[in-house]
Amino acid sequence: MLDAIIIGGGAAGLTAALYLGRFRRRVVLLDTGKQANRVSHAAHGFFTRDGTPPSELIRIGQEQLRLYETVEIQHRAVTDITPVDSHFSITLDDSSVLTARKVLLATGLKDTLPPVQGIEQFWGTSVFHCPYCDGWEMRDQPLAILNDGAPAVHIAKLLRVLTTDLTICTNGGDLLTEAERTALQTWGIQIIDTPIQQIEGHDGQLERIVFTDGQKLARKAIFVHLNSAQHAPFAAQLGCQMNANNLVQVDEFGHTSVPGVYAAGDIANRFRQVIMAATQGASAAVGINMDLIAEDFA
């Protein structure tokens, strides 16, 4: 029987596997390669790795795990997780079954872009969602925010530090209050409420936003609001408690409300950055290791 199965091979899962491998824990990490940031040109804000493509971070992480003989990576999907007495039975997409004492969910979130024609071709290169991740590269450029209401104001405050040429496109929305509109205009931020017809550009580089009234707005990048959902159903199926943001509720060591089940990364943290996911993966691994020790020495 394995000590732990980690489902998800992004920053959280790889970090957890590394920590557990260093304690000779028998671990299988299951990864389908569908991390949400796989389309991003670079990951930023990660100490010593600023600007490294996410795919390269994954490659390095997998390569470094080869040193730990008790850790195995399998590129397979999970179809079912069943609690059995004091352990778990995990069925894979080839009908094989693994058993483990602990399960770490690091399956991440699945994102849906706003329904605007042409937006997909620019995702990760000139359409972004996080000013902390990509704002610096867009400094002093003409930028747009595709959002509405208080979330749009929040992003505007962040990006206004990096550029003076900023436009909020509500795409026909009406959630901004008069007070918010006045404040935005005071900061020199333009607001366009006209619905967007399409987004145009070439080779992944945004050039302009075209509105339904024929107006065109030249922009270098757009920061958008994403609709995000759990990438995998296992947290809900196992009965893990969720918070108001539909994220898995965990404590500082990754414990969910279900004994033996842990969660780390984007599925349990609203700060969607690689370094944050790695931190959570490390914390969850410490929690798993300490729980295994407590059980073994009981």
Query: In this structure, are 123 and 194 located in the same domain?
Result: yes
* β-sheet with 143-146: strand ranges across: 127-128, 221-224, 143-146, 166-169, 190-192
Distance of CA 93 to the CA centre of its chain: 24
Provide the number of structural domains found in the chain: 2
Q: In the prediction, which pLDDT does 58 show? A: 93
pLDDT value of residue 44: 87
Query: Is the CB of residue 21 less than 8 Å from the CB of residue 40?
Result: no
Domain boundary among 224, 247, 271: 224
Phi, psi of 18 (to 5 degrees): -65, -45
State whether 107 and 231 are in the same domain: yes
Where the chain has pLDDT below 70, the residues are none
**Does the pTM of the predicted model rise above 0.75?**
yes
What pLDDT is attached to residue 213?
97
Q: Which of 198, 224, 250 delimits the end of a domain? A: 224
**Which CATH number belongs to the domain containing residue 61 in this structure?**
3.50.50.60
- Whether residues 107 and 244 share a domain: the answer is yes
Predicted confidence at residue 57, as pLDDT, reads 92
Last residue of a domain, one of 203, 224, 245: 224
**Full residue range of the structural domain in which residue 50 is found:** 2-111+227-296
| Same structural domain, 211 and 255 | no
C-alpha 79 chain-centroid distance: 22
Beta bridge partners of 94: none
Q: With beta carbons less than 8 A apart as the criterion, state whether 224 and 128 touch.
A: yes
Do residue 104 and residue 251 come from a single domain?
yes
Both 254 and 186 in one domain: the answer is no
Residue-wise pLDDT for 261-276, tens only, equals 999 999 998 888 899 9
Residues 91-104 have pLDDT tens digits of 999 999 999 999 99
